[in-house]
């Protein structure tokens, strides 16, 4: 450990000139006025303050001054002595015209001024060193310069210039070293007499200036009649010096950091330093992270202080938006940075330990169910999903039995053949809860290589799965079902759009796809007969291909959930959930059963509304809260089925994975790994993360929708469907071409009608969207 600040000074011979920086003064000329009766020469005061001569001189001066009773009346100016005047006990009688005094202008500044005249009963008008006339209270006076009468305010600058030559802060250290040994307190006049050899006006003011601004060596103590300055103890000085030096080092680091920021800010966008360059040095990283935390309103007190100082030094206001702007200006953040990733502390990376465990699974690829897998690889298998899907969890097959009934298979990817309950991979998935799908990126629940390569269904390859087969009654209800481990070989990987095209083409070669559509149709009819509620809406989907660019490409897709392929897949997923719930009930198996109470409002209440988004919106608004049970199925009134278990997305939803653990254990003849209580606790943990993921997805989707609208031509008209009236003519609308819900005032129309609107303002960063109805001219429209 290095020498202490005091030890370093002692080794250098006492009053080092380095003390100048300690007080924040600029280097000054050391000047002791010639002809002064008493002064310390360089060999004592300015060189080595430890001489025996200095000891005796200090003692003698103090004894002499104390014996004179310094609170005497000054015959020269007829005023009270300096001690009383500088004791902050200034009253109306103590101040007179022409006095030179120091007063506290504000929390950071003290100024010299000349008293001009009284201002009311207590205050005084003064002219300060800047030539400004103002009124001050007696409490603002910090010092009255002694021996001065009828001072000319125009001479203040000259007085300060002379004082500057005498303000050598190193004398504080020297005086402290002498006085602290005897634990002697000292007045301003005594200090002036010791240091300058006189206590006249200029020297007394300089003594006051040094002592009153000293934060290391002396502390002001109030006595009954006047103020004294007491030397601090050596341990106190040691600690204060350490803090002072640390503060100076921090200020130097801040100055260098500000220079880096300004340099980066001045560069063109394509030449900005990469983000990684700001994270290499720990001290720079600390400051950048403070700005980042400030930008998302998630900083601690130290980060708030540091970020505030940085913003102030850069000329920015101390606001989160200013911090974000600065980070974008230096190239640390892209223009369209998703702050929610930091605000919600989203897990976007995996630890080395998790990645290592995933790699081991990829090498070994264990399968404890190999001996009980049924070979279904000869079936024609359709995997239908969005075009950018990376994780394919499910696929479908179908056939018509000799008796005319339909048999369908829902094949679900089998990640539990690799991942075991309570393993490190499993725990990581639980604390993620779900894969996160954003317009700009996907953050999978499992490490990417594990999810995409080993777990996901892949076209033309042998894939491990759990297959749920269901034979339907002609009315669409379940006649028979089986749940078994299987091996499949997906035939087609289709998007919803391409699957819909195949359905419209009605090709004889794709009979299985037509059977699936027929099964979906009779299932939908059966569920409606059981009281299901139509909630299909128009939903937007956005893909941003180069999100780090200032103007990235935005591809907008508007999905109509009434699309034939989407309805087909949706019905088969619901059928799977019903079959798994029945399997759990038949085998007394603890599972995460989902239910939904029937609404108190009859479905027929909205039959007057046109089918589609308007009616679905009304139905959704009347839904009651969902329920869960972990021991037995509960009715799902919205879906119109007796029980439901989410089972078809085990790669991207943790609750589905839990259901797989339970079902797979039963199929092997093992005891289920989790009790109903275990399932409830883990579902709760996962659900908390799912809620964050949904909020993250919703916020980011809205951001890019607003950015999309911002870029559209000014005055572009949009068709808007009236969903409901919020208050009076304030309506909730659905922008049909965008799939986005908005609100604005409409002058005419009812729920289910369409109106024309234009976007007046769209600002994604501030989440501002202003919509205005466009009144069509009926006569012009007819022409």
Interval 720-747: pLDDT, tens: 999 999 999 999 999 999 999 999 999 9
Residue 389: predicted pLDDT: 66
Pairing of strands 492-495, 382-385: parallel
> Among residues 14, 11, 8, which one has the least CA distance to residue 54?
14
106: which DSSP letter?
S
Q: d(Cα 216, Cα 42) in Å, to the nearest integer?
A: 23
Residue showing tokens 């309506």: 731
Mean pLDDT (whole number) for 636-640: 94
Chain-centre distance of CA 524, in angstroms? 44
737-756: string of b/e by CB count within 10 Å (b at 16+)? ebbbbbebebeebebbeebe
451: which DSSP letter?
I
Q: d(Cα 740, Cα 704) in Å, to the nearest integer?
A: 11
CB 653 within 8 A of CB 412: no
> 270 or 635: which carries more pLDDT confidence?
635
CB 79 within 8 A of CB 85: yes
Instruction: Indicate the SS3 state at residue 737.
Output: coil
332: which DSSP letter?
S
How many CB atoms lie under 10 A from the CB of residue 193? 24
Kindly state the tokens that stand for 137. Answer: 């209270």
Q: What percent of the chain has a predicted confidence (pLDDT) above 70?
A: 87
Helical H segments across 422-495, by residue range: 424-432, 448-449
CB 693 within 8 A of CB 750: no
Residue 388: predicted pLDDT: 64
How many CB atoms lie under 10 A from the CB of residue 711? 10
CB 735 within 8 A of CB 702: no
Residue showing tokens 């995997």: 383
Using one digit for the tens of pLDDT, what is the confidence trace for 25-36?
A: 333 333 333 223
Instruction: Indicate the SS3 state at residue 755.
Output: strand
Kindly state the tokens that stand for 329. Answer: 């200006």
Residue 473: predicted pLDDT: 98
Using one digit for the tens of pLDDT, what is the confidence trace for 81-135?
A: 334 344 444 544 478 999 999 999 998 899 999 999 999 989 999 999 999 999 9
Q: d(Cα 139, Cα 129) in Å, to the nearest integer?
A: 19
330-339: string of b/e by CB count within 10 Å (b at 16+)? bbbbbebbbb
Cα-Cα end-to-end distance for the chain: 92
pLDDT at 22 over 80: no
For 118, residues 6+ apart whose C-beta sits below 8 A from its C-beta are 92, 124, 125
| Strand partners for 411 | 395, 467
Kindly state the tokens that stand for 538. Answer: 């128009």
Using one digit for the tens of pLDDT, what is the confidence trace for 131-153?
A: 999 999 999 999 999 999 999 99
Residue 69: predicted pLDDT: 37
282-295 vs 234-266: helix axis angle to the nearest 10? 70
| Strand partners for 134 | 126
Using one digit for the tens of pLDDT, what is the confidence trace for 63-85?
A: 554 444 333 323 332 333 334 34
Instruction: Indicate the SS3 state at residue 229.
Output: strand
Pick from 176-185, 198-207, 506-515: least confident: 176-185
CB 18 within 8 A of CB 169: no
Residue 83: predicted pLDDT: 40
pLDDT at 49 over 50: no
Pick from 46-55, 240-249, 527-536, 570-579: least confident: 46-55
pLDDT at 783 over 90: no
Kindly state the tokens that stand for 308. Answer: 């505030």
In DSSP notation, 118-166 reads EETTTEEEEEETTS-EEEE-GGGEEEE-TT--S--GGGHHHHHHHHHHH
Q: d(Cα 82, Cα 417) in Å, to the nearest integer?
A: 90
Residue showing tokens 């989407």: 566
Query: Using CB atoms within 10 A of its CB, is residue 145 exposed (0-12), middle (13-18) or buried (19+)?
Result: buried
For 684, residues 6+ apart whose C-beta sits below 8 A from its C-beta are none
pLDDT at 308 over 70: yes
Q: Is the pTM of this model over 0.85?
A: no
Residue showing tokens 């070989």: 489
Kindly state the tokens that stand for 587. Answer: 């085998």
Kindly state the tokens that stand for 698. Answer: 């919703």
For 540, residues 6+ apart whose C-beta sits below 8 A from its C-beta are 556, 557, 558, 559, 701, 705, 738, 739, 740
Instruction: Indicate the SS3 state at residue 557.
Output: strand
Mean pLDDT (whole number) for 249-275: 94
Using one digit for the tens of pLDDT, what is the confidence trace for 160-190?
A: 999 999 999 889 998 898 888 888 888 999 9
How many CB atoms lie under 10 A from the CB of residue 7? 11
pLDDT-derived band at 778 (thresholds 50, 70, 90) equals low
Q: What does pLDDT average to over the chain?
A: 87
Residue 224: predicted pLDDT: 63
Using one digit for the tens of pLDDT, what is the confidence trace for 585-610?
A: 999 999 999 999 987 777 778 888 88
Residue showing tokens 């009346």: 73
Q: d(Cα 576, Cα 562) in Å, to the nearest integer?
A: 20
pLDDT at 5 over 50: no
Pairing of strands 406-413, 394-400: antiparallel
Q: d(Cα 123, Cα 117) in Å, to the nearest integer?
A: 9
pLDDT-derived band at 59 (thresholds 50, 70, 90) equals low
Residue 777: predicted pLDDT: 64
Using one digit for the tens of pLDDT, what is the confidence trace for 537-589?
A: 899 999 999 999 999 999 999 988 878 999 999 999 999 999 999 999 999 99
pLDDT at 527 over 50: yes
| Strand partners for 443 | 436
Residue 607: predicted pLDDT: 85
Kindly state the tokens that stand for 484. Answer: 């078994």
Q: Reduced to 3 DSSP states, what percent helix, strand and coil does the chain have, rounded to the nearest 5?
A: 40, 20, 40
Kindly state the tokens that stand for 589. Answer: 């198996």
Q: d(Cα 429, Cα 437) in Å, to the nearest integer?
A: 15
- Domains annotated on the chain, with CATH: 99-235 (no CATH), 244-333 (no CATH), 352-698 (no CATH), 712-773 (2.40.50.140)
Residue 301: predicted pLDDT: 94
In DSSP notation, 34-82 reads TT-SS---IIIIII-TT-HHHHHHHHHHHHHHHHT-S----TTT----H
549: which DSSP letter?
S
Mean pLDDT (whole number) for 342-349: 90
Using one digit for the tens of pLDDT, what is the confidence trace for 371-410?
A: 899 999 999 999 999 876 678 999 999 999 999 999 999 9
Using one digit for the tens of pLDDT, what is the confidence trace for 674-694?
A: 999 999 999 999 999 999 999
pLDDT-derived band at 366 (thresholds 50, 70, 90) equals confident
Phi, psi of 452 (to 5 degrees): -80, -40
pLDDT-derived band at 424 (thresholds 50, 70, 90) equals very high
Q: d(Cα 525, Cα 516) in Å, to the nearest integer?
A: 14
């Amino acid at each position: 450990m290095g020498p202490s600040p005091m030890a370093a000074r002692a080794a250098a011979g006492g009053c080092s000139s380095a003390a100048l920086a300690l007080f924040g003064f600029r280097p000054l000329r050391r000047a002791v006025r010639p002809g002064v009766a008493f002064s310390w020469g360089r060999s004592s005061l300015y060189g080595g303050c430890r001489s025996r001569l200095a000891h005796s001189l200090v003692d003698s001066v103090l004894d002499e001054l104390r014996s004179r009773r310094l609170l005497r009346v000054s015959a020269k100016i007829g005023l009270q002595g300096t001690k009383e005047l500088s004791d902050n006990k200034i009253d109306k009688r103590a101040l007179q015209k022409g006095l030179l005094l120091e007063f506290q202008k504000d929390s950071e500044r003290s100024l010299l001024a000349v008293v001009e005249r009284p201002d009311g009963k207590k205050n005084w008008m003064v002219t300060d060193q800047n030539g400004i006339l103002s009124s001050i209270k007696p409490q603002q006076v910090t010092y009255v310069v002694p021996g001065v009468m009828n001072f000319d305010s125009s001479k203040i600058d000259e007085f300060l210039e002379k004082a500057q030559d005498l303000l050598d802060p190193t004398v504080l250290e020297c005086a402290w070293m002498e006085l602290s040994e005897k634990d002697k307190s000292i007045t301003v006049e005594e200090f002036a007499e010791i240091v300058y050899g006189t206590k006249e006006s200029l020297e007394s003011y300089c003594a006051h200036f040094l002592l009153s601004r000293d934060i290391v060596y002396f502390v002001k103590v109030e006595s009954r009649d006047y103020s004294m300055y007491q030397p601090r103890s050596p341990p106190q000085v040691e600690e204060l010096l350490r803090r002072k030096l640390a503060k100076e080092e921090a200020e130097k680091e801040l100055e260098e950091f500000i220079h880096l920021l300004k340099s980066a800010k001045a560069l063109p966008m394509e030449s900005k330093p990469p983000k990684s360059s700001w994270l290499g040095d720990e001290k720079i990283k600390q400051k950048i992270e403070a700005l980042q935390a400030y930008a998302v309103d998630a900083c601690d007190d130290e980060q708030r202080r540091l970020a505030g100082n940085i913003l102030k030094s850069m000329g920015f206001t101390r606001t989160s938006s200013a911090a974000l702007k600065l980070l974008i200006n230096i190239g640390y953040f892209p223009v369209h940075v998703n702050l929610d990733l930091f605000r919600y502390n989203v897990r976007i990376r995996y630890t080395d330990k998790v990645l290592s465990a995933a790699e081991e699974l990829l090498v070994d690829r264990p399968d404890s169910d190999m001996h009980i897998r049924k070979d279904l690889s000869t079936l024609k298998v359709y995997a239908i999903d969005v075009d950018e899907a990376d994780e394919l969890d499910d696929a479908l097959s179908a056939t018509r039995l000799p008796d005319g009934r339909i048999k369908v298979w829902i094949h679900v990817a089998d990640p539990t053949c690799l991942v075991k309950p309570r393993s490190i991979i499993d725990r990581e998935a639980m604390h993620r809860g779900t894969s996160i799908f954003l317009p700009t990126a996907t953050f999978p629940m499992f490490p990417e290589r594990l999810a995409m390569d080993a777990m996901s269904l892949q076209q033309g390859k042998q894939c491990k799965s759990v297959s749920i087969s269901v034979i339907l009654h002609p009315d669409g209800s379940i006649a028979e079902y089986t749940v078994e481990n299987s091996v499949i070989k997906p035939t087609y990987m289709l998007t919803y759009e391409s699957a819909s095209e195949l359905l419209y083409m009605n090709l004889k070669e794709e009979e299985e796809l037509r059977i699936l559509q027929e099964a979906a149709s009779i299932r939908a009819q059966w569920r409606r007969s059981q009281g299901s509620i139509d909630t299909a809406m128009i939903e937007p989907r956005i893909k941003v291909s180069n999100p780090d660019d200032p103007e990235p490409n935005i591809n907008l897709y508007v999905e109509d959930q009434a699309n034939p392929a989407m309805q087909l897949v949706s019905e088969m997923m619901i059928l799977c959930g019903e079959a798994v719930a029945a399997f759990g009930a038949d085998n007394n198996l603890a599972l995460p059963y989902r239910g939904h109470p029937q609404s108190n409002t009859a479905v027929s209440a909205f039959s007057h509304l046109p089918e589609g988004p308007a009616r679905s919106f009304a139905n959704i608004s009347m839904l009651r809260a969902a329920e869960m049970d972990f021991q037995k199925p509960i009715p799902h009134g919205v879906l119109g089925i007796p029980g439901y278990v989410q089972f078809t997305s085990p790669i991207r939803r943790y609750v589905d994975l839990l259901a797989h653990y339970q079902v797979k254990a039963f199929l092997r003849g093992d005891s289920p790994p989790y009790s109903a209580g275990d399932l409830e606790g883990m579902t709760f943990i996962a659900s908390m993360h799912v809620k964050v993921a949904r909020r993250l997805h919703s916020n980011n989707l809205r951001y890019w929708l607003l950015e999309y609208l911002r870029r559209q031509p000014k005055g572009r008209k949009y068709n808007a469907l009236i969903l409901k009236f919020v208050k009076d003519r304030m309506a909730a609308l659905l922008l049909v071409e965008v799939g986005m819900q908005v609100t604005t005032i409409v002058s005419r129309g009812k729920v289910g009608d369409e109106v024309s609107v234009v976007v007046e303002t769209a600002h994604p960063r501030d989440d501002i969207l202003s919509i205005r109805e466009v009144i069509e001219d009926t006569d012009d429209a007819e022409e």
